[in-house]
Structure 1
Amino acid sequence: MPDQHAPAWLPPRTALIRIGTPAADGSGHPTLLALGGGDPSGAVHHGRPLPDGFLDQNQLRACRELFDPDTPMSEAVRTAGGLLGDALLAADLLDPWFDAIRKCHADGHPAHTLLDIRCPRLRTLPWELVAAPGDPVPLCIGVGPGLTFARLLRPASALLNTRLDPLHLPLRLLVVIGDTDPRLGAEKEAGRIRARLTEPFGEWHVEVVRTPTSDELASRLADLTPHVLHFIGHQQRDGTGAGVLTVRPPHQEPWDITGATVHGVLTAHVPRLVVLNACDTAGHAAEPLLTGLMSSGVAAVVGMSGGIESGPAGRFAEEFYAALGRAETVDRAVLTARQALLRADLARVDWARPVLVVRDTRDTVLTRLPALRVANETDKRFAHKRWNLRYAVDRVTERRALFDGFAPTGPDAPVTVVTGGPGTGKATLVRSVLHTWYRNGALTLWTDLEEVGRTATWLDLVLKVVDRLGDAAPGHPQLRLLEHRLAQLHTQWATDDKEPLLTLGPDRIWQDFVPGNSVGHLADRRHTALRHLADALLRIGSETGLVLALRSLGALEHLTVQQLLVPHLVEPLAAQAGGRAKVVLVANEEEAELVPFPLSDTARWITLKTFAADDLDAAVGDYGRAHDLSDDEVLRFARIMDLYREQHGGLVPDHLKTGMGTFRKRVGRR
């Protein structure tokens, strides 16, 4: 990339400041300012070369020892920010850079700066803290629309040309807890991250793996294929002084993630964003690890310059993911979290530690495809007095299985059966996943025969599905054709698609006898009606994707399920090669026996039981935080749930609901 040209990939409102390696002729470090989205003839400002010793050893030490425990923080930040600002001023880059920032802010837009510091000796200096001469406040915490920084690191790798396509919902996050050291506050941090990513509902899927072996971590990466990998733990130093991330599995030898071994760790899957919420993960010692991550294909890394305590680290993570949950870009999320740390304690400079390193720009790291349906509209569609999705407890393994590869508009499996005992949360789990698929543009039809309020018939099922189709795709041509065909079957034996199209009558009462036809035709007409329904679902699903969820099969007679519903509706959908219309059956344990062979053998089964031991504490904490309990209140609620667990031999979601009622009575809250 020639220095005289602005990079073609540089987006608008983004400045790139480059300080190169010293020139062979002794002229110093070449400097350049490139502005994205501007006139090519004036987008590049060639600055004056910086002498190789533009910062003496004492000044370098002042910047690099910024976070030494014995250094007064406010003084250190002012010193470092002033020195780096003076360097840009000496290179004649400060004024044109400031002009670009002012123009962005005058237009009401944030300004973005990429720091392309190519000399390894200077790369890890705290350039994000640069301040204007005479101004003690670093630009990264200034008022107005804000100025975001990212360090550019582009190691030679064929993977650098990998295109980052926009993402469907849900975005996937894997939290790796590397150490059980209580000083880390890892469980509290993980809980706060999950809590922050519950709104808007269904946009994120979060999993936590605790002190895994290298095989266990590789397996989880392969199963989840996360977009974001978040590490909580300690960074150590190896014999060469390079930083390594240490993971301590129980009853096994610790193992390290290093710059040389990170390629092997990420063989199964390379996330787009890695967050290293550990001490000194963006300083000089961490450079081999950062380079290894980038050359593996990671698009961005967030680390820390110097040591950071668990409290501020957890607060940073909480605010950072809250910002990502609002669809802020990665660099903007770092700025938001940085400002939150500043507001939390004006006397500390924890806000100065976060560092963002990117491979290209910050825009495409977690760019989402626009959801085809807005969150509020979808929330209303899935609102139900019995199943409040806000309180849905994330059954991690079962939810991932139901997402089935995280296809955007439905599972890969043609038929999925979700079964379990009473109170295990089957309906809430299925509805929550339907919610996400609906946001992505699929038609999702929740059909609950229990709502009929009496023994249901095959016709109740057909008409409820037609109603749901009418809600989801009003006026769709295939829906009009289906109603026409069903209306014809009310009054005559044959069906055709001739105009004018009929509509179902207001009473929609199926006639057992059709004048001039034999009684034996009745069963054939039922088969035909269900096959018309299956055909409509397949045709509509081919356009948008469609998931039909059927609950309370037990409301139908056994023979109706086995001899009518399954062979003439479910199996035609399952048999369609490459079809995008899927079926999810939500069944109690006794209802699951209604699913006949061979469908029972070929369907994908997901069974909900009591919470697994590894998920139990997280489920209790998530449920408490969803009810706006404080951390202390969550602990008190957890003690109540321990009693329920001992009494029932395990917990299911219904126990959490009952336990929350008990907790509120004890503390006098409504």
Structure 2
Amino acid sequence: MSKKKTARIDLIVHRVGEDMIHSARTDFNVAHAVNTTKAVLSSLGVARGVVESTLIDTRSMSNADLEGFGKDLAAALLSGEVTGLYSKTASGCRIQLGICVDDPLLKTVPWEFMFWPDLQTAPHPHRCVARLVPGTDIKPLPPLKLTSGGRVLLAVAAPTNQPNVDWIETEADMKRIFAANTNDTDLKSIDFRLVEAATADALRKAVQNFDPHIVHFIGHGRPDGLWFLKHRSNAGSVVPTSMLRNVLASDSTRLVVLSACDTANVGTDIAPLIPLAERLVRGGIPAVVANQMPMSLRSVATFCAALYSDLLQEGDVDWAVNNGRIAVGVAYANVNAATVEWGVPVLYRRPGCSQLFTAG
């Protein structure tokens, strides 16, 4: 990864009537702006629908269409004094942009597709996006050297009343990457465990006994919960969001990765307006990676391989997620759905918690 200087910009966005109010800050500056959103937000809603249709191959979104959507997103986020602050800060720097929104409509917007105006591209190795979740008073966990004594738990839940989940490739990639980054083919320096055919209670017990630093769930999700197997049954049922903090995390857990569709989706038709991933961070998990729309298993495996490779080398979850997005965009550039799949993964985290692990 580039050793360019890194600058952070935290951007708080909320609506007042038909106006969108921006407050941006860096370590050295603060800026405020008002942007009229009536036309902008309606166009973003239409474009989001095209993105979702492209993912299920019922429509096609060209690279030009995606670029136009990304420019609309940039226009909605960067306006007035905030534009000036971004331009001044971004000169010669890598930028970590943290977006905090409290409005249900703004939460539905896939900000991850933003087209970076100064670089004329997205995604980009010098720009990353995370969604910040303020309000938790839990003390942040210190960065951990994951390559020495790290504990990683992979949980798989594939009920027979849901589509088949092919998780073997992701497991193999994770083991290969952990081995390569620790020069340890037997994975003795990282404790890697698998919970297969998981019920919620079995996973809860495994998490509490193992106390993992990373929990990776592969299965099916909805905005209001995750599918697990029922006790003594191959069928499954949804465990609601309110219970999932107790299932997925222990005191040492720094990161939860949800390879499950719609786990970062607001889901206004069937669920409360706070996405599952955001609720988990509100419950005390430092960082959660989830999907705001459906994502193919092919792209999930590619994303996770790049995510973990970067996380083991650098330790910063913002850049690791960004590296995963880039990997998907490059690997499947000529596949219709994959034209937009790179923007599906979303990172929710607490402010000040990007450096989850120490580098190397």
Q: Please say if 1:256 is aligned against 2:238.
A: yes
Q: Please say if 1:16 is aligned against 2:5.
A: no
Matched with 2:151 is 172
Q: CA deviation at 1:51?
A: 2.9
Matched with 2:331 is 344
CA distance in 2, matches of 1:135, 1:326: 25
SS at match of 2:201: helix
Q: Please say if 1:324 is aligned against 2:304.
A: no
Encode CA deviations 1:614-653: one digit per residue, 9 max, x unaligned: xxxxxxxxxxxxxxxxxxxxxxxxxxxxxxxxxxxxxxxx
Q: CA deviation at 1:96?
A: 2.2
**2:236 alignment partner AA:** P
Matched with 1:153 is 133
CA distance in 2, matches of 1:215, 1:346: 40
Q: CA deviation at 1:20?
A: 2.0
Q: Please say if 1:283 is aligned against 2:265.
A: yes
Q: CA deviation at 1:121?
A: 1.1
Gaps of at least 5 residues in structure 2 are: none
Q: Which of 229, 232, 248 does residue 218 from structure 2 map onto?
A: 232
121 and 267 in structure 1: CA distance in 2 versus 1, 3 angstrom threshold: same
CA distance in 2, matches of 1:328, 1:171: 12
Query: Mapping of 1:203-602 within 5 angstroms?
Result: 203-236=189-222, 242-248=223-229, 251=233, 253-266=235-248, 269=251, 271-285=253-267, 287-347=274-334, 348-349=338-339, 350-367=341-358
Q: CA deviation at 1:258?
A: 2.3
Encode CA deviations 1:349-372: one digit per residue, 9 max, x unaligned: 22221211111134332347x8xx
Q: Please say if 1:72 is aligned against 2:60.
A: yes
56 and 95 in structure 1: CA distance in 2 versus 1, 3 angstrom threshold: same
CA distance in 2, matches of 1:54, 1:117: 19
Gaps of at least 5 residues in structure 1 are: 1-10, 105-109, 237-241, 371-670
281 and 99 in structure 1: CA distance in 2 versus 1, 3 angstrom threshold: same
Matched with 1:6 is none
SS at match of 1:279: coil
Encode CA deviations 1:66-93: one digit per residue, 9 max, x unaligned: 2223332335422321211222344442
SS at match of 1:13: strand
Equivalent residues, number: 333
CA distance in 2, matches of 1:267, 1:346: 35
281 and 214 in structure 1: CA distance in 2 versus 1, 3 angstrom threshold: closer
**1:190 alignment partner AA:** E
**1:191 alignment partner AA:** A
SS at match of 1:326: helix
Matched with 1:421 is none
- Where relative contact order (Cα < 8 A, 6+ residues apart) is larger, the structure is 2
**2:22 alignment partner AA:** T
Q: Which of 118, 129, 134 does residue 113 from structure 2 map onto?
A: 129
92 and 65 in structure 1: CA distance in 2 versus 1, 3 angstrom threshold: farther
362 and 264 in structure 1: CA distance in 2 versus 1, 3 angstrom threshold: closer
Richer in helix (by share): 1
178 and 344 in structure 1: CA distance in 2 versus 1, 3 angstrom threshold: same
Contact 1:262 1:292 in 2 (8 A): no
Contact 2:315 2:358 in 1 (8 A): no
Q: Please say if 1:111 is aligned against 2:95.
A: yes
Contact 1:177 1:231 in 2 (8 A): yes
CA distance in 2, matches of 1:17, 1:187: 39
Q: Please say if 1:197 is aligned against 2:183.
A: no
Q: CA deviation at 1:151?
A: 0.8
CA distance in 2, matches of 1:267, 1:302: 14
Matched with 2:84 is 95
Contact 2:288 2:347 in 1 (8 A): yes
Q: CA deviation at 1:119?
A: 1.7
Contact 1:266 1:296 in 2 (8 A): no
Q: CA deviation at 1:203?
A: 4.3
Between structure 1 and structure 2, the one with the greater Rg is: 1
214 and 77 in structure 1: CA distance in 2 versus 1, 3 angstrom threshold: same
Matched with 2:70 is 81
Which segments of structure 1 move beyond 6 Å, counting only runs of 4 or more?
none
CA distance in 1, matches of 2:226, 2:92: 42
252 and 27 in structure 1: CA distance in 2 versus 1, 3 angstrom threshold: closer
SS at match of 2:198: coil
Contact 1:228 1:274 in 2 (8 A): yes
124 and 203 in structure 1: CA distance in 2 versus 1, 3 angstrom threshold: farther
Contact 2:207 2:250 in 1 (8 A): yes
Contact 1:175 1:209 in 2 (8 A): yes
